[in-house]
A and B are shown apart, each in its own frame.
Chain A
């Protein structure tokens, strides 16, 4: 989901 993809950053 688009809301998830930037959660790969710290």
Chain B
């Protein structure tokens, strides 16, 4: 494992912990898109189908369990927690799951490396992860009231994707036969979705003003 991959995973972990901590301590999920969180839970569930079958490393298994546990906990908090669920911006978070789920499923059935259930589900999770942030970005733009933690959450997620691209570049030059178009293209698209957010995030940071996205 190279430094970019490790840094990417740690940023990913930090993003999830920031969000979980925000929800748990402030008992509020305002500004957080339940749609995006549900999509991430599905991403992890479909990607880690073989978690107890295929063993890669202790590190991988632990991280997978953390991502599964945290994503389902966040969904549980927003949907079921007595206090937290009252702060959910339901009327603003209107993005339809199906608009993302269906194209990803069709694409995974058509473009995959191997037509088996496990592989198609894995490919589906890659495509879905690429676009799962969209409901969250739409919500941020709508509410215009972005608290620091939600901003940091999205920033860390974007940073994780950017670091994974560096990881692939590193692996491409250091490992033989390391060419994976599906993951790369989906990953690049996913990172590009954050470009706009990054721009405004750095602007607000540079000028030390509150982060606000243009309508």
Do chains A and B interact in one complex? yes
Residue B119 interfacial (CB < 8 Å): yes
Residue B54 interfacial (CB < 8 Å): yes
A9 to chain B, nearest CB (A): 7
Residues of B within 8 A of A3 (CB): 113-114, 119
Residues of A within 8 A of B57 (CB): 8
**Among listed B60-68, B75-83, B198-206, interface-contacting one:** B60-68
Chain B, interface size category, equals 20 to 34
Give the total number of A-B pairs whose CB atoms are below 8 A apart: 27
Residues of B within 8 A of A6 (CB): 178, 180, 183
Cβ B56 vs Cβ A7 within 8 A: yes
* Complex alpha-carbon distance, A4 and B122, angstroms: 11
| Residue in B5, B113, B119 whose CB lies within 8 Å of A9 | B5
B15 to chain A, nearest CB (A): 13
Cβ A10 vs Cβ B122 within 8 A: no
A3 to chain B, nearest CB (A): 5
Q: A9-B5, A10-B67 are in contact. Are A2 and B60 (CB under 8 A)?
A: no
* Complex alpha-carbon distance, A3 and B122, angstroms: 11
Q: In B39-75, which residues have CB < 8 Å from any A CB?
A: 54, 56-57, 60, 63-64, 67
Given A3-B114, A8-B57, 11 additional A-B pairs, CB 8 A: A3-B113, A5-B177, A6-B180, A7-B54, A7-B56, A7-B122, A8-B56, A9-B167, A9-B183, A10-B60, A10-B67
Chain A interfacial positions (CB closer than 8 Å to B): 2-10
